[in-house]
Chains A and B, each alone.
Chain A
Amino acid sequence: MKTTIGRWLVPVFGGLAFIFLLVPVAYVFAFSFNDAGRTNLSWRGFTLENWLNPCGAPAVCEALGNSLQIGAIATVLATALGTAIAIGLVRYRFRLNATANMLIFLPLATPEVVLGASLLAQFLNIGAELGLGTIIIAHTMFCISFVVVTVKARVASLDPKLEEAASDLYASPLQAFWRVTFPLLLPGIVAAALLAFAMSFDDFIITNFNSGNVTTFPKFIYVSATRGIPAQANVIGSAMFIIALAIVIGGQILSHRRARTLAAR
Chain B
Amino acid sequence: MSLLAARRPAGTGSVQERAADRRRGRTGYWLILPGFVFMLLFFVLPVFSLLATSLYTKPPGADIGQFAPALEFGNYVVVLQNYWPELLRSFAFALVATAAALLIGYPMAYLVAVRLRGRKLLQGILLVLIIAPFFTSFILRTQAWKQILADEGPVVQVLRALSLLPQDGRLTATAFAVVCGLTYNFLPFMTLPIYANLERLDTRLIEAGSDLYAGGFTTFRTVTLPLSMPGVLAGTLLTFIPASGDYVNAALLGNNQDTTMIGQVIDSRFFRVVDYPGAAALSFILMLAILVLVTLYVRRFGTKDLV
List, in ascending order, chain A residues with CB within 8 A of B144's CB.
23-25, 27-28, 31
> How far is B175's CA from A265's CA once the two chains are assembled, in angstroms?
60
- Contact among A109, A114, A240 with B136 in the assembled complex (CB-CB below 8 Å): A240
Q: Which residues of A172-199 have CB atoms within 8 Å of chain B's CB atoms?
A: 173, 194-195, 198-199
Cβ of B301 within 8 Å of any chain A Cβ, yes or no, is: no
Cβ of A50 within 8 Å of any chain B Cβ, yes or no, is: no
The answer to whether B47 touches A27, judged by C-beta atoms less than 8 angstroms apart, is no
List, in ascending order, chain A residues with CB within 8 A of B238's CB.
108
- Known pairs A113-B267, A245-B132; A15 contacts B111 (CB<8 A): yes
The answer to whether A94 touches B28, judged by C-beta atoms less than 8 angstroms apart, is yes
Closest to B125 in A: A249
List, in ascending order, chain A residues with CB within 8 A of B28's CB.
88, 91-94
Cβ of B241 within 8 Å of any chain A Cβ, yes or no, is: yes
The answer to whether A114 touches B245, judged by C-beta atoms less than 8 angstroms apart, is yes
Cβ of B266 within 8 Å of any chain A Cβ, yes or no, is: yes
Which of A5, A82, A93 gathers most chain B CB within 10 Å?
A93
- Contact among A100, A240, A241 with B36 in the assembled complex (CB-CB below 8 Å): A100
Nearest-CB distance from B152 to chain A (Å)? 8
The answer to whether B283 touches A11, judged by C-beta atoms less than 8 angstroms apart, is no
Cβ of A57 within 8 Å of any chain B Cβ, yes or no, is: no
Cβ of A121 within 8 Å of any chain B Cβ, yes or no, is: yes
Cβ of B124 within 8 Å of any chain A Cβ, yes or no, is: yes
Q: Which residues of B109-139 have CB atoms within 8 Å of chain A's CB atoms?
A: 110-112, 115, 120-121, 124-126, 128-139
Nearest-CB distance from A77 to chain B (Å)? 8
Cβ of A141 within 8 Å of any chain B Cβ, yes or no, is: yes
- Contact among B216, B266, B286 with A2 in the assembled complex (CB-CB below 8 Å): B216
Q: Which residues of A84-101 have CB atoms within 8 Å of chain B's CB atoms?
A: 84-85, 87-89, 91-94, 100-101
Cβ of B280 within 8 Å of any chain A Cβ, yes or no, is: yes
The answer to whether A106 touches B43, judged by C-beta atoms less than 8 angstroms apart, is yes
List, in ascending order, chain A residues with CB within 8 A of B15's CB.
none
Q: Which residues of A106-163 have CB atoms within 8 Å of chain B's CB atoms?
A: 106-115, 117-122, 124-125, 137-138, 140-141, 144-145, 148-149, 152-153, 160
List, in ascending order, chain B residues with CB within 8 A of A101's CB.
306-307
> How far is B241's CA from A208's CA once the two chains are assembled, in angstroms?
19
List, in ascending order, chain B residues with CB within 8 A of A85's CB.
31-32, 35-36
- Known pairs A118-B50, A122-B46; A111 contacts B245 (CB<8 A): yes
> How far is B243's CA from A245's CA once the two chains are assembled, in angstroms?
26
Nearest-CB distance from A100 to chain B (Å)? 6
The answer to whether B187 touches A122, judged by C-beta atoms less than 8 angstroms apart, is no
> How far is B112's CA from A11's CA once the two chains are assembled, in angstroms?
9
The answer to whether B39 touches A93, judged by C-beta atoms less than 8 angstroms apart, is no
Cβ of B254 within 8 Å of any chain A Cβ, yes or no, is: no
Cβ of B93 within 8 Å of any chain A Cβ, yes or no, is: no
- Known pairs A11-B111, A108-B238, A117-B279; A28 contacts B42 (CB<8 A): no
Nearest-CB distance from B190 to chain A (Å)? 10
Cβ of A72 within 8 Å of any chain B Cβ, yes or no, is: no
The answer to whether A103 touches B36, judged by C-beta atoms less than 8 angstroms apart, is yes
List, in ascending order, chain B residues with CB within 8 A of A241's CB.
132-133, 135-136
> How far is B31's CA from A72's CA once the two chains are assembled, in angstroms?
22
- Contact among A3, A25, A104 with B141 in the assembled complex (CB-CB below 8 Å): A25
The answer to whether B133 touches A21, judged by C-beta atoms less than 8 angstroms apart, is yes
List, in ascending order, chain A residues with CB within 8 A of B126's CB.
18
The answer to whether B39 touches A121, judged by C-beta atoms less than 8 angstroms apart, is no
> How far is B26's CA from A157's CA once the two chains are assembled, in angstroms?
23
The answer to whether A21 touches B129, judged by C-beta atoms less than 8 angstroms apart, is yes
Nearest-CB distance from B63 to chain A (Å)? 15
Nearest-CB distance from A110 to chain B (Å)? 6
- Known pairs A221-B143, A222-B248; A121 contacts B115 (CB<8 A): no
Closest to A26 in B: B144
The answer to whether B139 touches A121, judged by C-beta atoms less than 8 angstroms apart, is no
- Known pairs A198-B131, A241-B135; A104 contacts B307 (CB<8 A): yes
- Contact among B27, B135, B147, B215 with A201 in the assembled complex (CB-CB below 8 Å): B135
> How far is B305's CA from A105's CA once the two chains are assembled, in angstroms?
10
- Known pairs A27-B148, A221-B139; A153 contacts B111 (CB<8 A): no
> How far is B137's CA from A202's CA once the two chains are assembled, in angstroms?
5
List, in ascending order, chain A residues with CB within 8 A of B136's CB.
24-25, 28, 237-238, 240-241
Task: List, sorted by A's number, 14 A–B pairs whose CB atoms are closer than 8 Å.
Answer: A13-B107, A14-B111, A17-B105, A17-B107, A24-B184, A25-B133, A88-B29, A103-B43, A111-B245, A114-B286, A144-B38, A152-B307, A221-B137, A244-B131
A-binding residues in B (CB < 8 A)? 21-25, 27-29, 31-32, 34-36, 38-40, 42-47, 49-50, 52-53, 104-105, 107-108, 110-112, 115, 120-121, 124-126, 128-145, 147-148, 152, 184, 187-188, 196, 210, 215-217, 220, 237-238, 241-242, 244-248, 252, 262-263, 266-267, 270, 276, 279-280, 283-284, 286-287, 290-291, 294, 306-307
Top 10 closest pairs, chain A to chain B, by CB: A111-B245, A92-B28, A14-B111, A88-B31, A6-B216, A81-B35, A118-B50, A24-B144, A122-B46, A118-B46
Given contacts A109-B290, A234-B140, 17 further A-B contacts (CB under 8 A): A17-B187, A25-B132, A84-B31, A85-B32, A85-B36, A88-B27, A92-B29, A109-B294, A111-B244, A111-B246, A114-B50, A114-B284, A119-B46, A205-B245, A205-B248, A205-B263, A221-B143
